[in-house]
Amino acid sequence: MDARRNQRTLVARATVDGVGYWSGRNVRVEFRPAEPHAGISFVRADLAGCPRIPAAVAHRIEMPRRTVLRSGEATVEMIEHIMAALAGMQVDNCEVWVDEPEMPGCDGSALAFVTAIQEVGIVEQNAPRNLLVVRQAVRLGSDDCWIEAHPASGGKTIIHYDLDYGVGNAIGRQSLEVTLSPRYFHVSLAPSRTFMLQREATALLAQGLGQTATVNDLLIFDSDGPIGNALRFPDECVRHKILDMVGDFALAGCDLVGRFIAYRSGHRLNAELVRAIVDGQTAIKRCA
Entry field: residues in the chain: 288
CB within 8 Å of 186: residues ≥ 6 apart:
88, 89, 114, 118
Nearest-5° angle of CA 51, CA 54, CA 58?
125
- The 3-class SS string of the chain reads CCCCCEEEEECCCEEEEEECCCCCCEEEEEEEECCCCCCEEEEECCCCCCCEEECCHHHEEEECCEEEEEECCEEEECCHHHHHHHHHCCCCEEEEEECCCECCCCCCCCHHHHHHHHHHCEEEEEEECEEEEECCCEEEECCCCEEEEECCHHHCEEEEEEEECCCCCCCCEEEEEEECCHHHHHHHHCCCCCEEEHHHHHHHHHCCCCCCCCCCCCEEEECCEECCCCCCCCCHHHHHHHHHHHHHHHHHCCEEEEEEEEECCCHHHHHHHHHHHHHCCCEEEEEC
267 is an active site residue? yes
CB within 8 Å of 88: residues ≥ 6 apart:
110, 114, 180, 182, 185, 186, 189, 190, 243, 246
Cβ atoms of residues 179 and 3 within 8 Å:
no
User: Looking at the annotation, which residues are catalytic?
Assistant: 267
